Amino acid sequence: MANHKSALKRIRSNEAKRLVNKYQHKTTRNAIKKLRELTDKKKAEAMLPSVSSMIDKLAKKNVIHANKAANLKSGLTKYVATL
């Protein structure tokens, strides 16, 4: 167990950040799944910017890698374009 006050605080803050990151990552994955299930082009085009924004925010906070974010956004954009 940690012996320093700062280490104990770091443990607490890391746990809080982990929970927030986990929640946002799961929410984004669910949004991606919902977008991929859509068959209506207008609804998909309306949903794409918000999902792209969620992906960008995860990449900005290093929850996912920047290249993975780019690949996800590219794939989703191609999917919406083919509807």
The predicted model gives 56-80 an average pLDDT of: 97
Position 1 scores a pLDDT of 72
Q: Please name which of 75, 48, 72 lies closest in space to residue 59, comparing C-alpha atoms.
A: 72
Tens digit of pLDDT for each residue in 23-59? 999 999 999 999 999 999 999 999 999 999 999 999 9
DSSP state for residue 13 in the 8-state scheme: H
Using pLDDT thresholds of 50, 70 and 90, give the confidence band for residue 2: confident
- Global confidence as pTM: 0.88
